[in-house]
């Protein structure tokens, strides 16, 4: 115990500090026999926002990696003329519109591949 501090001052100080920094209030729990005492300290909203932002960044990075891998598969599949449906099957994309919009049209627009089979 620090000089000038008395018993029972810790929890009020903690509550005051948490309120001042914008933290949610703690949750105090005990069992029926009062044999244990538990304090749950919820995350500060700042850390929740930060975790959500990291999750969005990671999702974007993973999506970018998958797109890059599928696009590479499309380019490898186009070493010889193939129908779009064949390429789609080879790279394992099930939804036709997703395949065309996300993986076939962009390389065509960039001039990396060209349409050779009319249909």
pLDDT tens digits for range 22-63:
888 988 888 888 888 888 888 888 888 888 888 887 777 767
**Would residue 115 count as lying in a domain?**
yes
Is 47 contained in some domain? no
Does the residue 25 lie in any domain?
Answer: no
- In this predicted structure, the answer to whether residue 80 has a pLDDT above a threshold of 60 is yes
Q: What is the pLDDT of residue 52?
A: 85
Q: For residue 44, tell me if it sits in a domain.
A: no
The total number of structural domains that make up the chain: 1
Which residue segment(s) compose the domain that 84 sits in? Answer: 72-119
Q: How far apart are CA 62 and CA 55, in angstroms?
A: 10
pLDDT at 4: 58
Query: What is the helix (H) or strand (E) element at residue 77, kind and residue range?
Result: helix 45-77
Residue 1 predicted with pLDDT over 70? no
* 86 found inside a domain: yes
Does the residue 113 lie in any domain?
yes
97 domain residue, yes or no = yes
């Amino acid at each position: 115990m620090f000089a000038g501090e008395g018993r029972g001052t810790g929890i009020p100080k903690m509550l005051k500090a948490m309120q001042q920094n914008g933290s949610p209030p703690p949750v105090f729990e005990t069992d029926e026999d009062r044999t244990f005492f538990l304090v749950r300290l919820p995350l500060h909203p700042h850390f929740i926002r930060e975790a959500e932002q990291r999750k969005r960044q990671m999702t974007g990075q993973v999506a970018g990696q998958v797109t890059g891998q599928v696009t590479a598969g499309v380019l490898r599949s186009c070493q010889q003329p193939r129908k779009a449906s064949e390429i789609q099957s080879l790279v394992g994309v099930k939804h036709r519109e997703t395949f065309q919009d996300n993986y076939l049209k962009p390389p065509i627009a960039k001039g990396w591949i060209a349409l050779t089979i009319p249909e």
